[in-house]
Amino acid sequence: MAFWKHLTCTSKEDVDLFSELDPLLEELWGYLRHLADLKSVWPRLTEKQRSDIDSSAVHRDRFHEKNAERLVEEIRTRASRIRAHRHTPLKNRIIEFLDNWRDQEPDMLKVIQAMMTRGDEKD
């Protein structure tokens, strides 16, 4: 069970925010992982494979990127509402990731989730 569910020195609002952030971070990780994987294999694809991907509705409509953008804003809004001083390093780590999410390694979200789960708030 995640650490925030047992905190006695954290407000109920912060506990609720941590509970809401975890699945949102997981969902964002999926979209970012897809985008990063596509970017890494793109140079090795044949022209036909690139054409097939470019013509797909999911790629053409920027499905993964749009959902990532939506989640980044939603997570930023919720993370900015974390009030307890002891959670400031974790809050800052989340916001720093979101500020440059296009250039970040998606697996950094897993590190942030692990920090949330363990209650590790050191920078």
Mean pLDDT by 10 residues, the chain (123 residues): 51 85 96 94 94 88 94 96 88 96 95 81 47
What's the sign of the alpha-carbon dihedral 104, 87, 72, 29? positive
Burial class (CB in 10 A: 0-12, 13-18, 19+), 1: exposed
Residue 28 lies in a domain: yes
pLDDT for position 120: 53
Residue 64 lies in a domain: yes
pLDDT for position 59: 85
Residue 37 lies in a domain: yes
Domain count, the chain: 1
Residue 21 lies in a domain: yes
pLDDT for position 1: 42
Cα 28 to Cα 12, 36, 62, 123, distances in angstroms: 25, 12, 15, 22
pLDDT for position 9: 52
Query: Structural domain of residue 38, as residue ranges?
Result: 10-118
Residue 54 lies in a domain: yes
Q: pTM for this one?
A: 0.83
